A and B are shown apart, each in its own frame.
Chain A
């Protein structure tokens, strides 16, 4: 158990809908990262937050947004969902200092029908 929790574990929804994925980092970790993993791609970095502030953006679509709250949990919002958004979404946390390993949550499997 990495100490990172993600909810829900599975999510099935329809095209055009909006969903929210939630992540609670390990106790003491200030950084939260979101990744998307689909069948035909590796781990695609989406976005990083550090202590409530956005720090880095990767291949995140404009239909997606995220935030990190004062209690350090984070939410990833996906809107106007398309079939291609079906993927495993991982959250990871780290202390935020450079070079520390990231601890991954179990992931949320999103299926868009």
Chain B
């Protein structure tokens, strides 16, 4: 069973539109972390945000914002006033501790965002 589900495989928006990328996760742990990474066309993976399971406050960083809701096991990512440079594949990831106390990370399949000028 998928532990991190990104149901939207591809999204296209026109520049300046807002867009939300969905992420639903599954875990039995009470302590865990969630991440978003960006992979632009150049290929590198860039860390965007980390959020722990005890902090449900929404976070805003410039045009980016994240909505974490434990009740629905979701950690959605919104880009406001999208720009062409936002075109990339975005990955959501879940980090849990394995039985040995070490990090175990699961990535979603990614959502490809295309921003059309």
What residues make up the interface of A, taking CB atoms closer than 8 Å to B? 2, 31, 33, 35, 41-43, 45, 48, 50, 55-56, 88, 90, 92, 94, 96-104, 106-107
Interface residues of B, dominant DSSP: strand
Cross-chain contact A45 with B107 (CB below 8 angstroms): yes
Set of chain A residues within 8 Å of B98, measured between Cβ atoms: 56
Considering residues A42, A55, A97, which has the most beta carbons from chain B within 10 angstroms of its beta carbon? A42
Task: Tell which of B20-28, B40-48, B78-86 binds the partner.
Answer: B40-48
List which B98-117 residues lie within 8 A (CB) of chain A.
Answer: 98, 100-110
Cross-chain contact B105 with A90 (CB below 8 angstroms): no
How many Å lie between the Cα of A98 and that of B105 in the bound state?
10
Set of chain A residues within 8 Å of B105, measured between Cβ atoms: 33, 45, 102
Interface size class of B (residues with CB under 8 A): 20 to 34
B70 in the interface (beta carbon within 8 A): no
Query: What is the CB-to-nearest-CB distance from A108 to chain B, in angstroms, rounded to a whole number?
Result: 11
What residues make up the interface of B, taking CB atoms closer than 8 Å to A? 31-33, 35, 37, 43-47, 50, 52, 91, 95-98, 100-110
Cross-chain contact A100 with B103 (CB below 8 angstroms): yes
Those 9 A-B pairs whose CB atoms lie nearest each other, nearest first: A42-B109, A104-B45, A99-B33, A43-B107, A98-B97, A98-B103, A101-B47, A55-B102, A101-B50
